[in-house]
Amino acid sequence: MASVSASCLRFQPAVLLRSNNTSLRTNLNVVSMNLANKGFPSLKASRFRISCAAKAETVEKVCGIVTKQLALAPEIKLTPESKFSELGADSLDTVEILMAFEEEFEISVEEDSAQNITTVQEAADLIEKLVQTKTEAAA
């Protein structure tokens, strides 16, 4: 069982019940953590990004494909942080963009991976990863 207060988080050994209603005490040790000086940790998961930093050439090609597929005006400049949804892409547009990536880079994007692509940088990073995997498999 766990007891929580503003300054301490404490876990105590659990008691398990057997089928014949007799109890069996586990041999877990008590663990305490003093949070008085640090405050209670946030329950909200923090986000961080690990990026393989795709080549500038790949990012440029991705920007060109997205611009063409979404028929964006020439004055709209895409950055690696540009989100497809903010550019007006719906789900059909996104599928067409992915198909253009597959054709341009001669790769195959799995559906699971495709769902994680929301920005130009994410697309470029995935493309580089898939191209590298394809190259290594061919060698």
SS3 content of the chain, % helix, strand, coil (to 5): 40, 15, 45
Of the listed 90, 93, 112, 125, which one is catalytic? 90
State how beta strands 2-4 and 8-11 pair. Answer: antiparallel
> Could you tell me if residue 41 is left (phi over 0), alpha (psi between -120 and 50 degrees) or otherwise beta?
beta
At 96, is the secondary structure helix, strand, or coil?
helix
Q: At what angle do helices 56-69 and 91-105 cross, to 10 degrees?
A: 130
93 is catalytic: no
As annotated, the active-site residues are 90
